[in-house]
Amino acid sequence: MKTNLIEITVSGRTGCGKSEVLEVINNALKTYYGHQANVTGNTCKGAIGEADNTGQTARGGNTVFVLYEQNVSGPIKVHD
């Protein structure tokens, strides 16, 4: 069985809500693809609630999300 690997990277300045965004993406993937979806890496459980307390949130009109799609051909190497 062929495994598909899709890597998602969230980057931004310190305190802008990256961890919150990672948890939102994790939740969205699990909701859309079902709880059997294999989501790994820094899923940042608890970051949404923590952002409410710290103010380090991506919510609001001052956040811009830039989405890119990149096609990669050839064998995929999994990071250690």
Note the pTM of the prediction, 2 decimals. Answer: 0.82
| Dist. CA 11–CA 16, nearest whole Å | 9
Q: What is the predicted pLDDT for the residue at 26?
A: 95
Does 25 fall in a domain? yes
Q: Which domain holds residue 50?
A: 15-75
Summarised one tens digit per residue, pLDDT across range 27-63 is: 999 999 998 899 999 888 999 999 999 999 999 888 9
Does 7 fall in a domain? no
Instruction: Specify the number of domains making up the chain.
Output: 1
Does 5 fall in a domain? no
Does 3 fall in a domain? no
Whether 13 has a pLDDT exceeding 90, the answer reads: yes
Does 8 fall in a domain? no
Q: What is the predicted pLDDT for the residue at 18?
A: 95
| Dist. CA 42–CA 8, nearest whole Å | 10
Residue 79, Cβ neighbours under 10 Å: how many? 6
